[in-house]
């Protein structure tokens, strides 16, 4: 396009670069455009910066170097790159040379507005021979005294991902050669930005996903457990597992897979995990937990889909109640028996509307049995039916130590074929003997006692608290109360029970409150589960070991 064909000062569009490294871009026999000899150094500068920067880990360093080289190659005074934030529909100033204020002030330009916004909207280069307030909306361009501007879109797979523009402090008639060179720089920048964005997206996804997985599996009486998480060779998905004890004494084990890949799937996974934990504290019914989760996700994340399996291991550890929202059934291996798929009732995925009440399946869980929860990445291969993968998994799971079970499963499935999807694996084994340190079982009939921990015996909805004779608690004025003072027994019992049920059940941490004060009683009552109701009838069992019922 010749300079005299442009409507000077009108911001006319010019065609995109004719330069391409794709041999198929030109019909057979047609003449290929040849860069003028004087472009050799300029092209070499841009080629070197983009190629070298592809291996850099810091995207800001890449973009900063690119705008500087582009400014020098075109003999301009300013250069800037704005990247598209698709969620807001705005271009965000990301790197600049001679226009650093744009980046420092976080300039955002709506797509379709102003100079850069127009380039992004139409997806082709734009030239402004004369800059004034009617053609730009960014006041920094006017304050800098920029007289002429030329910009080109950053394109990836045909979609605009940003804008690269240069400016001069004196009037300049940019030529079609200038436009082609700028578009070439923008094309190379787009490739580099896309590659770096993919690297950063994967790194951020891995970091987020690993931060949401348990840093260490909990130590709970009556259960041993082990887990594995392996990212896929393709894009990272939204696989996760979780396991945590509940105040009721049950242990909640969860495994799930969010539809989609990359950072968006990992973010949804994090929200599901947090919501599910909260709902599990409200109810120990796995079907109700998933129902509440489904309502929450369909309201706040209407486009999200996920498979989730929620398993509640009873305080006595002899039963597991399971509800599955479209997730693959677990594998159970009982001593002396081959492993098999657990017979559980399937239900719809999280995110799919259904009027049907979710179902709960109950499994016997004898001592020595192993329960294996997994995601489809472990058993699903593109060239094999999934039943074959599940059969191989069943053959690998045996009633053994959960860590050894994980090793055996991963080795067997690795030999099956390479996996491209994420893998999450969680194995639980019921250890022989009575569970230690379990909480109250609200499902037990009144009159039966279960040891919450040393010093607390549960009987139905009441607790009998035995406190150390010499337990000292500081009041607000620095005085001391001893459990031998029976007039304070009721308040002390409340505080003692509350402390046992708080985040550190292994020992009581003395606080700076008068245990007989109204504030202390309210603080204690707030920490005690609703199923525990303080009653009268407080009396010591003996002088040596004060005892109270609440």
Closest CA to 235 of 270, 186, 285, 197: 197
Which of 430, 459, 479 represents a domain boundary (last residue)?
Answer: 430
The token duo for 463 is 């607790």
Q: Are residues 139 and 232 in the same domain?
A: no
362 or 265, higher pLDDT: 362
Q: Are residues 382 and 456 in the same domain?
A: no
pLDDT per residue over 231-257, tens digit each? 776 566 678 899 999 999 999 999 999
Domain holding 24: CATH number?
3.30.450.40
Judge contact between 274 and 281, C-beta under 8 A. no
% of the chain with per-residue pLDDT over 90: 41
Give the Cα separation of 107 and 99 in Å (integer).
Answer: 11
Domain-located, residue 254? yes
Question: What is the domain extent for residue 473?
Answer: 449-549
pLDDT of residue 69: 85
Q: Are residues 469 and 392 in the same domain?
A: no
Domain-located, residue 341? yes
Q: Are residues 305 and 411 in the same domain?
A: yes
Domain holding 405: CATH number?
3.60.40.10
> How many separate domains does the chain show?
3
Q: Are residues 303 and 225 in the same domain?
A: yes
Per-residue exposure over 24-38, b if at least 16 CB sit within 10 Å of its own CB, e if not = eeeeeeeeeeeeeee
pLDDT per residue over 286-297, tens digit each? 999 999 999 999
Domain-located, residue 8? yes
Which of 378, 402, 430 represents a domain boundary (last residue)?
Answer: 430
Q: Are residues 371 and 301 in the same domain?
A: yes
Q: Are residues 34 and 123 in the same domain?
A: yes
pLDDT per residue over 490-517, tens digit each? 444 555 455 444 444 443 333 333 334 4
Complete DSSP assignment for 349-381? PBTS---SPP--EEEE--TT-EEEEE-GGGT-B
pTM confidence score: 0.56
Domain-located, residue 20? yes
Q: Are residues 229 and 108 in the same domain?
A: no
Per-residue exposure over 285-321, b if at least 16 CB sit within 10 Å of its own CB, e if not = bbbbbbbbbbebbeeebeebbbbbbbbbbbbbbbebb
Domain-located, residue 439? no
Q: Are residues 342 and 484 in the same domain?
A: no
Q: Are residues 218 and 189 in the same domain?
A: no
Give the Cα separation of 68 and 210 in Å (integer).
Answer: 37
pLDDT per residue over 202-227, tens digit each? 777 677 767 777 878 999 999 999 99
Domain-located, residue 147? yes
Domain-located, residue 377? yes
Which of 173, 204, 235 represents a domain boundary (last residue)?
Answer: 204
Give the Cα separation of 491 and 495 in Å (integer).
Answer: 6
Q: Parallel, antiparallel, or unpaired for β 223-230 and 78-85?
A: unpaired
Q: Are residues 380 and 327 in the same domain?
A: yes
Distances (CA, A) of 181 to 18, 36, 46: 10, 11, 9
Domain-located, residue 443? no
Q: Are residues 364 and 258 in the same domain?
A: yes
């Amino acid at each position: 396009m010749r300079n005299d064909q442009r409507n000077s000062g009108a911001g006319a569009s010019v065609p995109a670069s004719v330069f391409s490294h794709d041999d198929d871009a030109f019909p057979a026999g047609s003449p290929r455009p040849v860069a003028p000899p004087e472009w050799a150094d300029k092209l070499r500068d841009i080629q070197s910066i983009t190629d070298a920067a592809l291996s850099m880990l810091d995207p800001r360093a890449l973009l900063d170097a690119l705008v500087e080289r582009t400014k020098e190659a075109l003999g301009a005074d300013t250069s800037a790159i704005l990247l598209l934030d698709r969620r807001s529909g705005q271009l965000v100033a990301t790197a600049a040379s001679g226009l650093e204020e744009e980046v420092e002030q976080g300039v955002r330009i709506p797509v379709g507005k102003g100079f850069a916004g127009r380039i992004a909207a139409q997806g082709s280069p734009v030239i402004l021979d004369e800059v004034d307030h009617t053609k730009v909306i960014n006041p920094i361009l006017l304050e800098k005294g920029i007289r002429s501007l030329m910009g080109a879109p950053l394109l990836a797979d045909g979609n605009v991902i940003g804008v690269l523009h240069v400016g001069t402090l004196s009037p300049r008639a940019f030529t079609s050669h200038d436009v082609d060179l700028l578009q070439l720089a923008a094309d190379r920048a787009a490739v580099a930005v896309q590659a770096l964005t993919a690297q950063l997206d994967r790194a951020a996804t891995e970091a987020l996903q690993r931060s949401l997985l348990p840093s260490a599996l909990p130590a709970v009486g009556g259960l041993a457990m082990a887990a594995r998480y392996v990212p896929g060779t393709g894009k990272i998905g939204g696989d996760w597992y979780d396991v945590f004890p509940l105040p009721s004494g049950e242990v909640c084990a969860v495994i799930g897979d969010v539809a989609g890949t990359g950072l968006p799937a990992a973010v949804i996974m994090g929200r599901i995990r947090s919501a599910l934990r909260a709902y599990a504290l409200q109810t120990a019914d796995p079907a109700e937990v998933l129902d509440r989760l489904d309502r929450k996700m369909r309201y706040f994340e209407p486009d999200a889909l996920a498979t989730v399996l929620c398993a509640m291991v009873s305080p006595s550890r002899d039963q597991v109640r399971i509800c599955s929202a479209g997730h693959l059934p677990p594998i159970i291996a009982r001593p002396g028996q081959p492993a098999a798929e657990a017979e559980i009732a399937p239900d719809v995925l999280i995110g799919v509307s259904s009027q049907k009440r979710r179902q709960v399946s109950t499994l016997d869980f004898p001592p020595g049995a192993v329960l294996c929860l997994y995601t489809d990445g472990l058993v699903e291969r593109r060239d094999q039916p999934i039943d074959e993968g599940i059969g191989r998994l069943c053959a690998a799971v045996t009633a053994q130590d959960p860590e050894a079970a994980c090793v055996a499963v991963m080795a067997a499935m690795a030999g099956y074929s390479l996996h491209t999807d994420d893998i999450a694996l969680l194995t639980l084994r019921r250890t022989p003997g009575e569970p230690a340190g379990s909480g109250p079982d609200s499902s037990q009939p009144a009159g039966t006692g279960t040891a919450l921990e040393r010093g607390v015996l549960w009987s139905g909805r009441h607790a009998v608290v035995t406190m150390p004779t010499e337990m000292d608690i500081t009041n607000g004025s620095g005085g001391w109360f001893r459990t031998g003072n029976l007039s304070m027994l009721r308040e002390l019992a409340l505080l003692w029970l509350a402390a046992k049920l708080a985040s550190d059940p292994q020992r009581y941490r003395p606080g700076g409150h008068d245990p007989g004060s109204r504030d202390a009683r309210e603080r204690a009552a707030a920490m005690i589960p609703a199923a525990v109701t303080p009653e009268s009838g407080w009396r010591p069992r003996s002088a040596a070991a004060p005892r109270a019922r609440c």
